Chains A and B, each alone.
Chain A
Amino acid sequence: MKVTVKISDKEMQEVLELTGETQKGNAIRQLMEEALQFRRRAQIAKRFIRGEWGVELDSFEANRERDRNQAIQGL
């Protein structure tokens, strides 16, 4: 899909500099993808913070302990 967006020359220049892209379309696309990714990250993180999402990972400590014990045996 093609979308026309009006931005100033100064803003376009800044977008090119910050993305490191030389083509305007690619630069805008990269900026949009990064912004979208960041907003997704924040949205999902909020679910974990609020407790809407959560995990237990019950065997995490046991797995770590086994790994650590093997390291101790090597000393």
Chain B
Amino acid sequence: MPLLLDSSLWIDFTRSRSPAELKQFIAPFILDPQTHLAEPVRFELLRSARAKEITLLETQFATIPCLSTPDTVWASATVLGQGCQRAGRCVASLDLLVAAVALHHKASVVTFDGDFEAIAAISELQVQRLRRPI
């Protein structure tokens, strides 16, 4: 099954101020042959990056295959968002888009973010929720 690493892992892995222990914890997921990126994840990280940071992130991202964004992503994310809202959970729009891509590719989302569990509760989304070791 493909793994889709969400932004929370990438943030902790690439930030200068992240403790080495945390980066070591994330590294096996970065190096997993099943690991993939998705366009919404790239977008969320790169939109916050400065010029020099873009180069570093793009260099790492270029070594990781990216799951294609299906034509149905907006419709699927809308349904997921409505489902979460009915369940009384507010989930960020980008997380809904990431989930829609993962569902299309039958990929498991690897994340520190509890919001994906809310999406999984109202869909067939597979989530591997990690806890930071420190």
Q: In the complex, how many angstroms separate the beta carbon of B10 from the nearest chain A beta carbon?
A: 9
Q: Which of chain B's residues 1-42 have a Cβ closer than 8 Å to chain A?
A: 7, 11, 13-17, 20, 23-24, 27, 30-31, 33
Given contacts A54-B16, A68-B90, contact A42 B45 (CB under 8 A): no
A69 to B93 Cα, complex, angstroms: 10
What secondary structure prevails in chain B residues at the interface with A? Answer: helix
- For chain A, the count of residues having a C-beta within 8 Å of the partner chain is 27
Q: Are the C-beta atoms of B93 and A49 separated by less than 8 Å?
A: no
Q: Are the C-beta atoms of B49 and A70 separated by less than 8 Å?
A: no
Given contacts A58-B48, A72-B90, contact A49 B23 (CB under 8 A): yes
Q: Does B67 contact A (CB under 8 A)?
A: no
Q: Which of chain A's residues 36-72 have a Cβ closer than 8 Å to chain B?
A: 37-38, 40-42, 44-45, 48-49, 51, 53-60, 63-64, 67-68, 70-72
Q: Which residues of chain A are near B85, meaning CB under 8 Å? A: 74-75
Given contacts A68-B90, A71-B91, A72-B90, contact A49 B60 (CB under 8 A): no
A60 to B91 Cα, complex, angstroms: 16
A40 to B42 Cα, complex, angstroms: 19
Q: Does B120 contact A (CB under 8 A)?
A: no
Q: How many of chain B's residues touch chain A, expressed as a range? A: 35 or more
A58 to B45 Cα, complex, angstroms: 11
Q: Are the C-beta atoms of B56 and A55 separated by less than 8 Å?
A: yes
Which of A38, A41, A59 has the most chain B CB atoms closer than 10 A to its own CB?
A41
CB nearest to A46 among chain B residues: B27
> 17 A–B contact pairs at CB < 8 A?
A38-B31, A41-B31, A42-B31, A44-B59, A45-B60, A49-B23, A49-B24, A54-B56, A55-B16, A56-B17, A56-B50, A57-B15, A60-B7, A60-B11, A63-B44, A70-B93, A75-B85
Chain A residues at the B interface, C-beta cutoff of 8 Å: 37-38, 40-42, 44-45, 48-49, 51, 53-60, 63-64, 67-68, 70-72, 74-75
